[in-house]
Amino acid sequence: MTFVDENDYDLVNACDKVDTRGIREMISSGGQGGGEITLKVTKKNGEVKEIRCRHTMSKDQVRWFVNGSAINRDSSAM
């Protein structure tokens, strides 16, 4: 993933809680055409920031992600 706005990198600090949004859509599309993932960053003080990111995962990379790694990939499912 890359930040849509590279300056957003500075919004994430140690001890922040980070949740991802858009992973299911990335999986269901098989990574086709790239896409966006949103990071929901919750600061220690409770403040929440939403950061737009892009992914460039290919169909094979999405399959590896779903299976936990390339090593765990079930070649019979291809």
The residues spanned by each domain of the chain are: 2-60
Alpha-carbon distance of 71 to 27, in angstroms, equals: 18
Alpha-carbon distance of 37 to 27, in angstroms, equals: 11
Paired with 64 in beta bridges are: none
Alpha-carbon distance of 66 to 73, in angstroms, equals: 9
pLDDT tens profile 21-60: 988 888 888 877 678 899 999 999 999 999 999 988 888 8
Q: Pick from 37, 39, 15, 40: which is nearest to 26 by CA?
A: 37
The whole-model pTM stands at 0.72
